[in-house]
Amino acid sequence: MTARPRIELATAAYLRRLNVPSRTSEEEMGAADAREFNRKALVAEFGPQPVVGAMADHLAGGVPVRVFRPAGDAGAGPVVLYIHGGGWTVGDLDSHAGVSRALCALAGVTVVAVDYRLAPEHRYPAAVEDCEAALEWLAAHADDLGVDPRAIAVVGDSSGGNLAAVIAQRATAAGVRLRCQVLVYPPVDSRSRSKSFETMATGYGLEAAEMLWYWSNYLGEAPKADDPGHSPLAAHDLHGLPPALILTAELDPLRDEAEEYGAALVAADVPVSMRRFAGTIHGFFRMPGTIPLGRVALESAAAFLHSRLSVTGPLRSWDDLSFEVVI
């Protein structure tokens, strides 16, 4: 008999509130209602958000983006393209603004968050196309934005991590050199065949059945399993990709496939740092106000970005930041 994994205290408290008989899954809600629920829930779970220097909305080749600038921004510094999670189905610039603000304030970098089109109304490859358009716009308008086009990183969590991995592959193939990539518990294999997908299938926040629903929304009924455009693990050649930080959660159905992707990058001589957070679940990265390990993960991502992007300003800790309540 396999022993149940140990759950850290804040995660256990969150799961007790979540795992009640009356819980309605996002699949049961349907995409439209799930989006509104998700936006409110994620803002609440993040808690007070870090104060940044400035925020402004733009259109990047028709794709909405939000630019977050650090306090005291002197211009011409590094920039991060941030791609939010939500199973390609939910999430927007507001639901994940806390993550964008945190990376901006901690690492001292400009962050450009992408509001890509969502499934099932807009299936693959719409989200990929939007993220590529945002990256192209960012590079083309670097002078206007006051950022360095030679110092661009891509960051994504969950389905955003999937898109970040895809964008890193496609950019490299096109001769665009990104400084680094940060992939936070990304789904990288549409076949969902890993051991953790079985052992962590239910009771740990993200349900395996819910993840399959997300994949179905994104790809439709008959996806091509070996297409690296949606399943980065299927890529035949990973050589030359930018250095990667991969963060995973022990109690996550997606844990093993994300770590397998990290191992594949290592085998292709890509510099990789991997960190598994024990006792916690998928989503903790965007929940620092609910699961304090999220603060540690955000600090880890910021430290990696600060180093790889050669940021000249100071790297800050969570305790260094100022916060404001966002409703």
- List residues with catalytic annotation: 158, 252, 282
Q: Alpha-carbon distance 242 to 153, whole Å?
A: 9
Contact 85, 163 (CB under 8 A): no
Contact 223, 190 (CB under 8 A): yes
How many C-beta atoms surround the C-beta of residue 325 within 10 A?
A: 8
Q: Alpha-carbon distance 321 to 105, whole Å?
A: 7
How many C-beta atoms surround the C-beta of residue 129 within 10 A?
A: 15
Q: What strands, in cross-sheet order, belong to the sheet with 147-157? A: 54-60, 63-69, 110-114, 77-83, 147-157, 180-184, 244-251, 272-281
Burial of residue 221 (CB within 10 Å: 0-12, 13-18, 19+) is exposed
At CA 231, angle to CA 129 and CA 194, rounded to 5? 150
Cα dihedral 32/133/161/228 (nearest 10):
100
Contact 82, 290 (CB under 8 A): no
The helix-helix angle for 293-308 and 97-107 (nearest 10°) equals 50
The helix-helix angle for 126-140 and 159-173 (nearest 10°) equals 60
Phi-psi region of 269 (alpha: psi -120 to 50; beta: other; left: phi over 0): left
Q: Is the dihedral of CA 287, 112, 300, 181 positive or negative?
A: positive
